[in-house]
Structure 1
Amino acid sequence: MLTTRGHIIDGAGYAKSLRDRLAEHVSSLQEVSGKTPCLVVVIVGEDPASQIYVKNKGEQTQAIGMESRTLRLPDTTSEAELLRLVDELNRDPVVNGILVQLPLPAHMSSLKVIDAINPDKDVDGFHVTNAGRLAVGLDGIVPCTPLGSLMLLKDAAEKFGDTLRGKNAVIVGRSNIVGKPMAQLLLAQDCTVTIAHSRTQNLAEVCRSADILVAAVGRAHFIKGDWVKDSAYVIDVGINRIQVETPEGSKSKVVGDVDFEAAKANALAITPVPKGVGPMTIACLLNNTIKAFCLQNGLAIPDGV
């Protein structure tokens, strides 16, 4: 059992082990059903970050033996055209998972497009039906980043011979994509949950009360080291680019919402940025696609999915 503080939670390593398990599930499901799970990713426009995400999703989908399709649309595509494409994918029995890459161009409504996706194919877990299922404790598809964060938390706690049950959890960030579903997942683990945000009064004190601190506010180094309670678990969801000065000049660097070096002195376990929660997001997308495939084909969902 681990006993020291500042343990680094290896999200990249856990994601690889999850992908390896999922590849075994895909092989088994192919033998049982004669079918291959299929994920379709739709991207509209040329956003550079989205292009990288979509490329990685496609490569990792294929790497575990699933079918990957990427549909690239110009940013001149109308909202009506995108909605027609989503409807076609909903009706295609070969397609098990649909992901429309966000952000969309300004002339499109993300809410309208997400609402058009069949909830049973909504592998992002963003549809209001899946949000409702999570809120009332029914089985559904859970957003990938919160699901991956929970997996890392449970794994870290097990390594310390610990449990999440009864712990005080504080989530900084109230988005529909991370903050709110993360709260529901931790409530289901019997945690006492507070959702805080940038306008919470006495935010530092609220954070210091947390046995589990999840930072998802989208601001570089927003959570200071002395906001972290002694021996807390810290999950940093933030991905922020900042400029840092080096002997070679100014360079771009990816950092989280937590001041990592200061916080790890107090934290029992903490995710780094990068190689923390990020790799888990795509791994959980693959996980969700397999779950959707099983539900659509009347197959037993493999253990751990």
Structure 2
Amino acid sequence: MSETIDGESVAADVRADVAECVETLREEGVVPGLATVLMKADPASETYVSMKQRDCEEVGIEGIHVEIDADAPAEELYETIDDLNERDDVHGILVQMPVPDHVNKRKVLRRIAPEKDVDGFHPENVGRLVAGDARFKPCTPHGIQKLLAAYDVETAGADAVVVGRSDIVGKPMANLLLQKAPQGNATVTVCHSRTENLAEKTRNADVVVAAAGIPEFIDGDMIAEGATVIDVGINRVEVEGEGDETELVGDVDYESAKGVAGKITPVPGGVGPMTRAMLLYNTVKAAGEQGGVDVELP
């Protein structure tokens, strides 16, 4: 039976560290502030933003929330970002994705000042990550690194397979795993929708990170005995035979995988809490750098 990697517990530890740093910053006259911007009338996005604001409140970060009508001109969003870039009380900016179709997503990411880009998606921050000099590590991959460290998963010399090549998870995860740094030094293979013989590759991996966005795409037959499996997927699917009832599942078929994997993250309760916790981590880091205050973030 696999050991379950408890993301809720590790995220709680991260939040505790963040809260201590917030106190340090406040003692120096710096009140960390995170601005969230929502421009799409989407229930899931509204829920995510409210959760992030609640997380901020719990650790002492000031939350600033801006809502823009989904039908408003794209320029209204760009100007909102410009205003937030100029505000001294805003240290981090997060524009909730997706944005409406008439808004250029890449323009949005480039508009956020790199030093306030706590998601780590601005091209300057992506470049620094690839170069091994990250200002901010993207929240989900960084959270995964924290999970690997907390559960003593050795990545140095390990074979790691990342299933998925998104800018948000797949690409930065691969970069972090191969870097010459803690929770790095792995030999990394990136797989995707065009990969042939996927099961052959995942079965040879010591660490599998599933981030393809396909419900229960990877099952126990595709995993090596004792491997560590990190499931990034969050998919809402109908419960068979239960009418309109739905449930959350990952990109891994948990029931078949848990009897094979050595360690595995559940869905929910695995990677998700870490993503939110690392957003707080990055916000505090940004506040320290912008306020000229040294904060000790592990």
What TM-score do the two structures reach when normalised by structure 2? 0.96
Give 5+ residue unaligned stretches, structure 1: none
Report what 1:176 is aligned to. 167
| Paired letter, 2:56 | T
Asked if residue 191 in structure 1 is aligned to residue 182 in structure 2, the reply is: no
Aligned to 2:41, which of 39, 43, 46?
Answer: 46
Report what 2:5 is aligned to. 9
| Paired letter, 1:30 | R
State the aligned residue count.
294
- Residues 114-163 of structure 1: CA distance to partner in whole angstroms, max 9, x if unpaired? 1000011001111111110000101311111111111111211x2xxx52
Asked if residue 30 in structure 1 is aligned to residue 26 in structure 2, the reply is: yes
Aligned to 2:206, which of 205, 211, 224?
Answer: 211
Aligned to 2:260, which of 266, 270, 289?
Answer: 266
Aligned-partner SS, 1:103? coil
In structure 1, how many angstroms separate the alpha carbons of the residues matched to 2:137 and 2:73?
29
Runs of 4+ residues deviating >4 angstroms: none
- Residues 251-277 of structure 1: CA distance to partner in whole angstroms, max 9, x if unpaired? 101000000110111111000001110
In structure 2, how many angstroms separate the alpha carbons of the residues matched to 1:250 and 1:59?
29
In structure 1, how many angstroms separate the alpha carbons of the residues matched to 2:145 and 2:20?
22
What TM-score do the two structures reach when normalised by structure 1? 0.94
RMSD across aligned positions (CA): 1.1
Contact in 2 for aligned 1:29/1:35 (Cα 8 Å): yes
Aligned-partner SS, 1:69? strand
- Residues 6-44 of structure 1: CA distance to partner in whole angstroms, max 9, x if unpaired? 00000011111211221111112211x212100000000
Aligned-partner SS, 1:70? strand
1:81, distance to aligned residue in structure 2 (A)? 1.1
Contact in 2 for aligned 1:254/1:273 (Cα 8 Å): yes
State how 1:59-138 maps to structure 2 within 5 Å.
59-138=54-133
In structure 2, how many angstroms separate the alpha carbons of the residues matched to 1:29 and 1:266?
45
Give 5+ residue unaligned stretches, structure 2: none
Contact in 1 for aligned 2:40/2:98 (Cα 8 Å): no
- Residues 65-101 of structure 1: CA distance to partner in whole angstroms, max 9, x if unpaired? 1100110111012111111111111111111000000
| Paired letter, 2:134 | D
In structure 1, how many angstroms separate the alpha carbons of the residues matched to 2:75 and 2:297?
40
| Paired letter, 1:173 | G
1:250, distance to aligned residue in structure 2 (A)? 4.2
1:45, distance to aligned residue in structure 2 (A)? 2.3
Contact in 1 for aligned 2:142/2:278 (Cα 8 Å): yes
Aligned-partner SS, 2:162? strand
Aligned-partner SS, 1:102? coil
